[in-house]
Structure 1
C-alpha cells in the first residue's frame, strides 16, 4: 500500500468538530477530514446550501454562549467528545474607516466571534481530550493578527491577535498532557466571504472588484505567488497538522499566505 492510500484512512476512528464548516476554508477542511476517514461534526449559523449526510450538522451561532452549550451538550450526548477540534469560526463584518467608526458593540462582537467562541468550545471539549491523553485543537487565525490594516480590519485584527496569544498559552498548559494546540493564520483566500468583503470595499471606494483586489494586494505588500489561495490549499495544511505525522508540532502559528508575510 502506498503513502497516498495510507493517508486516505489516516483519521479513521477519529471524531472531529469543524466550526463554520459549511463555507470557505471550513468547508474545505470538512471535505478533507471526511476523505481521511474521520467522523465529522459541523456547526454553522445557517443550514448548508446542500444537505450532506456524510457529516453531522448542528446549527448554531457560537458567538452566543448558550449556543456553545447547546452544541457541546449534543456532541457529548451523541459522541462522548471529540479528538480533533477545528475552531474555524470567524468573521470580519465590522465597519472600516478606523477607530472612530467602531462602537463598543462592534468591539464586543469582534471578540465574541473571533476569540471567545473558541475559548468556550475549548473549555467544554478539552477535558475529554485530557482524560484520554490525546487530542488536537487548531485555532484558525489570520495574518491580520500580526499585520493589521487599520482601514478595514482594526477590530478583527485585535481579536485575532488575542486568539494567537491565547492559543500559545493553552498549548503550553496542555502539551505535557497529550493535547496539541496549533494556530493557522491564512492570508487571502478565495472564499465567499472574501468576495463579499471585496465587493463592499469596491462599492465604498468607487472601484471595480478587480481594482480593489489589486489595491488590497498592494496594501498588504504584495503576494509573491500572485494570487489568493484556494481554500483546499489551506485545508491541506490544517489536515496535515491534525494527523499523527505532525505529532511533534504544538504551540506554533503557521502562516499560509503565498509568501506575503513581510517579516522573517
Structure 2
C-alpha cells in the first residue's frame, strides 16, 4: 500500500483520529507501570520506564537536553500561579511566545500568545492544569523534522508539515482535528546538521526508540522534543524505507535482546 501513496501523504488519510485515539505515555499512567513491571521481570522493554520518565515531561526533557548541551529554542520555566514579570518574559523571548504544559502531546496543551494580554490569559488558564509552565521563543517553519532513531542509529526521516493556515502540525480548533501532510526521504538527503543534532538528543536520552522533532531555521537547528513512543504509520514514516524499516527495528531489538541475555 505504501508504494501506491503519493510522496507527500495526507496524514489525515492514514488516521484522522490518531491524535484522539492513540495511547501515549506518562509517568503517572498505566503505560509506565506496565513498562516498569516488564523491566522488573527481565524482559526487553523498548519504551522503557527511564525513557518515559525522561521524555514524557517537557520540563525534565528540557533540563536534560540543557545538561547535554543540545540546542533548543530559548526557553524559560515559570510558576504560573506565582508573580512573574510579563514584560521581562517578552523582553527575553520576544513575541509571539509559545506556552506549554509539561505533559502535553499531539499539540494539546501548547498555545501561542501573540501579545501581552493574551500571554497573561494563557498563563492563567494553563496554570490551572500545571503549576510549572514552559515558555519558548516562536520559531515559524513550514514543517518539523522527525528523525526516527533506535539504539543510536537513524532509521527514518520525515517532514511533518503544519496544518493548513495553522502554526502547528495538528489543528485542534478545526472541526475534524486536521493535521498537516508528511513526507519521508532517504536519511542521506537530510541536512547533516539535522541528523547530527537529532543523534545528540537521542544519545542524551539513552539507547531506546525515539522520534526526535526538530526545527530548522536559517543556520539554527533546534530540538523541539524527543518522543519516547514514536508512531510508524504505513504510508508515512515507512514511505521511503518500506519493509526495510521494520527489519531494521526487529534486528535492533534482537541485538538488544542478545545483550540482555548475555549472548
Per residue, is there more helix in 1 or in 2?
1
State if a TM-score over 0.5 links the two structures. no
TM range, normalised to the smaller chain?
A: under 0.3
**Higher relative contact order structure (alpha carbons within 8 Å, sequence separation ≥ 6):** 2
Per residue, is there more strand in 1 or in 2?
2
